[in-house]
Amino acid sequence: MKGAVPVSQEHTDWEKENERLQAVISRIEKKKEALKGDSDELKDDVIELRRTFWDDVTVNLDEPDDVIETQASLKQRAELLSERERSHGLLHQQKKTLNKLEETPYFGRIDFAEDGENETESIYIGIASLMDKNDEEFLVYDWRAPISSMYYDFAPGRAYYPTLDGDVEGDITLKRQYIVKRGNLEGMFDTGLTIGDELLQSLLGQQSSPQMKSIVASIQREQNQVIRNERSKMLLVRGAAGSGKTSAALQRVAYLLYKHREKLDAGNMLLFSPNPLFTRYVSNVLPELGEDNLQQSTLFQHFKKRLPNDWALESPHAHIEYFLSEQAEATRSQGLSVKTSPRFIEQLHDYVSSLSHSGLIFKDLYFRGELWVTKAQLQDYFYQMASSMSISDRLETVAEWLLKMLQITEREERPKAWVDEKMDLLDQATYNRVFEKVTENEGTFNDTVLQEDLLRKLVVRRMVKPLRKQIQTFDVLDVEAMYVQFFRWAGYKVIAEEIAYHFKKRDMHWEDAAPFLYFEDLLKGRPVYADIRHIFIDEAQDYTTIQIRYLQHLFPSSRLTLLGDANQAVHAHTSAGNAPLEEDSNEKEQETITLHRSYRSTQPIVEFTKQLVPNGEQIEAFERPGPKPAMKQLENEKQHDRYVCDLAKQLEEREIGMAAIVTKTFAESEEIWEQLTRAGRDAQLIHEQTSEFKAALLVLPVYLAKGIEFDAVVVSDASAANYHRERDRYLLYTACTRAMHELYLCTNGELTPFITDSVYEHYVQG
């Protein structure tokens, strides 16, 4: 193997390293014992404080001063309890970290001779820091510490690491990696740059897991550039399938939380993932590193929260299935091309600018089914204001005017007969509350006039509540009508009619969600998400230009990390000439890091899959051996289905690990799953709401497999009939690159044209 020299048990250092390892584990055990004592003591304090919470609090509400004193006493007691609970929680977290360290205290070491110093320091690196018994020297350095960066970035020789006072320079005289399992030293390697082949072979050769694992022991130099990058407002990470984009991004989260612990916590970060299954798949990485999980959402979930409950939003998966069906209407295909083009955003801004002078469409406002204020009145009032004012500021003024009018309406409505009818229908609890309020104000209940007045106010206030909310949320604007009008204004009349038809049914296409909400925010002003400081977008190649712009607009204080691979684009808009993940020449604080090397799959699988896509020669395979992909061409559907069932049985009997049958569409997945079930196979059908794996054999469409890896993959029906359009090339590539160790393809008829004669040498006939 290249790059690493194994250190055998006969090596002179082996005994010394083993002794040190055991000494460190002993230190961990003693620290755990001390923590347990502190934790038990704090736990007892918390229990006692909860039990006696009211004993030391004198409740006196007779005089204002007594009330203030009581409140101060309660606050002081609550703060003491909260502080004890928080301290107990921190000790519990420290204990969890020590448990992980006890299993594997460290995974790497560098010996560093700093310029001007006489001694060489041995720096051991693990998932967390560990001090000696006097808390003076580091036994283990956290992998995120500045000094640890040299382990990932340099081979033995000249090196440096950053500090607040500038770079510290010197020489790395030794670089060593360890395999430590359950506290036992099982292997170690002296190596050059980053991870030696033996260690990486060991890590990559393991079976897949239902959840992604941390990669801190195997971070490569280019991945480390992603993790520690703090220069860029927007960081684009483009990488081949299996290059560690997502893993590096999650380690990046852990790094940022470590370095900026005083300013950042997990609540300041948000990850947009492609589906709930992927969200669950990556959920264990940060806890494994001793950090809380960051907030996670899908773009679909976010849109659903912002749209009214009575709107039906097409899911991204339904959107994909619609365009995969090859029955997409020409108008919708044209609309998709328009809405996902970069020019579309400019047109939208131009339209909003024109609305400053004319064209805003308002709604008629109703109270109790009767017209209260007409849309013409609203429009006249709005356009009487100076056009130099922003639209949102003028809407604020309109809302203030309407709320004042609403106060007048409330007073006018209180004596009317309809209020008497509503009062008769009030429940007893409401009457009791009003009674208590009257007696509280008057001392005795002798004023039926006051009671009636309060009841009338209550009835009218309840009746005007929906109208008040409509005014306060600027729902006096007919945004739906103006969105349709925009397409007419831009010359897309047919598209406008198609959107209007669906909007009447409160139905929204997936590709309309981002532009519609972006347009609404341009008019009304955006919601405030000031607490989010970092946004991570995985599978960013499937986002449209306006979806990215919308998120930038919504989180203006956030830094963005976009992760993706154009070769894995599965949405229809990516075949309409709109290339995702392109650098924006107008974005000054933007940087791109490209990861060319693929680690997920064996070398034969990578050599096969790189032939399927343009510029595939740029993808580098890690030298991990394995069988070539197997291809089986079958003549008809019956033979194809029998082959898939037989292959599934073989994989199950061999206990290969997690195996997946990957199809092009969900309908195909359903058919295969039904056949497997009839054949007695324990298979799980994955759909868009699935959040966890429950079987070793999975059946799923390719777009739900994105970002996930399996020990063995069977690509169902890789035929010319199924994969023939140019965008199908990327679906096929995505399906094949899910495989870690074994890849099988089968066809129902003629082989897809994307597997050409030049690919022949990279697979075997199955």
Strand spans (E) along 1-134: 4-6, 108-114, 121-126, 130-131
Answer yes or no: is pLDDT of 252 > 50.
yes
**Contact at 8 Å (CB) between 749 and 720?**
yes
Sheet of strand 659-663, all strands in order from the earlier edge strand to the far edge: 683-685, 697-701, 659-663, 710-715, 739-748, 630-634, 764-765
Answer yes or no: is pLDDT of 432 > 50.
yes
Is 31 assigned to a binding site? no
For residue 298, tell me if it sits in a domain: no
Same domain, residue pair 659 and 755: yes
For residue 479, tell me if it sits in a domain: no
Is 242 assigned to a binding site? yes
Least confident of 20-24, 35-39, 441-445: 441-445
Answer yes or no: is pLDDT of 651 > 60.
yes
Same domain, residue pair 149 and 30: no
Answer yes or no: is pLDDT of 63 > 60.
no
pLDDT-derived band of residue 577, with 50, 70 and 90 as boundaries? very low
For residue 601, tell me if it sits in a domain: no
Is 705 assigned to a binding site? no
Alpha-carbon distance of 204 to 602, in angstroms, equals 9
Alpha-carbon distance of 255 to 258, in angstroms, equals 5
The half-sphere exposure of 168 on its side-chain side, counting CA atoms within 13 A, is: 16
For residue 405, tell me if it sits in a domain: yes
Same domain, residue pair 108 and 85: no
Sign of the alpha-carbon dihedral angle for 139, 143, 146, 147: positive
How buried is 510 (Cβ within 10 angstroms: 0-12 exposed, 13-18 middle, 19+ buried)? buried
Coil vs helix vs strand at 572: helix
Q: Which residues contact 446 (CB under 8 A, 6 or more apart)?
A: none
For residue 235, tell me if it sits in a domain: no
Answer yes or no: is pLDDT of 301 > 50.
yes
Tens of pLDDT, residues 714-752: 999 999 999 999 989 999 999 999 999 999 999 999 999
Instruction: Report the candidate in 228, 223, 221, 229 with the shortest Cα–Cα distance to residue 243.
Output: 223
Q: What is the mean pLDDT of residues 221-247?
A: 93
For residue 313, tell me if it sits in a domain: no
- Residue 470 is predicted with a pLDDT of 95
Instruction: Report the candidate in 580, 586, 476, 578 with the shortest Cα–Cα distance to residue 520.
Output: 476
Least confident of 49-63, 278-292, 723-737: 49-63
Q: Domain end: 431, 448, 473, which one?
A: 473
For residue 468, tell me if it sits in a domain: yes
Is 245 assigned to a binding site? yes
- Residue 197 is predicted with a pLDDT of 55
pLDDT-derived band of residue 691, with 50, 70 and 90 as boundaries? confident
Same domain, residue pair 94 and 223: no
Q: Which residues contact 302 (CB under 8 A, 6 or more apart)?
A: 272
Same domain, residue pair 89 and 119: no
The DSSP call for residue 509 is: -
- Residue 443 is predicted with a pLDDT of 52
Is 187 assigned to a binding site? no
Mean pLDDT of the chain: 88
Q: Which domain holds residue 53?
A: 9-102
Alpha-carbon distance of 552 to 557, in angstroms, equals 9
Is 248 assigned to a binding site? no
Same domain, residue pair 94 and 163: no
Q: What is the mean pLDDT of residues 312-338?
A: 92
pLDDT-derived band of residue 7, with 50, 70 and 90 as boundaries? low
Stronger pLDDT, 31 or 86, i.e. the higher one = 31
Q: What is the mean pLDDT of residues 247-272?
A: 93
Is 707 assigned to a binding site? no
Number of domains in the chain: 4
Answer yes or no: is pLDDT of 359 > 90.
yes
Same domain, residue pair 624 and 694: yes
Answer yes or no: is pLDDT of 667 > 50.
yes
Same domain, residue pair 639 and 747: yes
- Residue 264 is predicted with a pLDDT of 92
- Residue 272 is predicted with a pLDDT of 96
Answer yes or no: is pLDDT of 630 > 50.
yes
Same domain, residue pair 663 and 707: yes
- Residue 423 is predicted with a pLDDT of 80
**Integer angstrom CA distances of residue 1 from 180, 195, 200, 484, 622:** 20, 12, 11, 63, 12
Is 239 assigned to a binding site? yes
The residue to which tokens 């033979």 are assigned: 639
Answer yes or no: is pLDDT of 203 > 90.
no
Q: Domain end: 70, 102, 134, which one?
A: 102
- Residue 445 is predicted with a pLDDT of 47
Q: Name 564's bridge partners.
A: 238
Total residue count of the chain as it appears in this document: 766
What is the helix, strand, coil percentage profile of the chain, to 5?
A: 50, 20, 35
Alpha-carbon distance of 517 to 521, in angstroms, equals 6
Same domain, residue pair 96 and 38: yes
pLDDT-derived band of residue 576, with 50, 70 and 90 as boundaries? very low
Answer yes or no: is pLDDT of 198 > 80.
no
Q: In 510-610, which ranges are continuous DSSP H helix?
A: 510-524, 545-554, 603-609
Return the structure tokens found at 507: 């139905």
**Integer angstrom CA distances of residue 160 from 94, 120, 149:** 30, 14, 9
Tens of pLDDT, residues 144-197: 999 999 999 998 999 999 998 999 999 999 999 998 989 999 888 887 655 555
- Residue 57 is predicted with a pLDDT of 57
Same domain, residue pair 110 and 65: no
Answer yes or no: is pLDDT of 361 > 70.
yes
Q: Domain end: 473, 504, 536, which one?
A: 473
For residue 348, tell me if it sits in a domain: no
Same domain, residue pair 113 and 133: yes
Backbone angles phi, psi at 368, to 5 degrees: 55, 40
- CATH number for the domain that contains residue 734: 3.40.50.300
- Residue 1 is predicted with a pLDDT of 38
pLDDT-derived band of residue 2, with 50, 70 and 90 as boundaries? very low
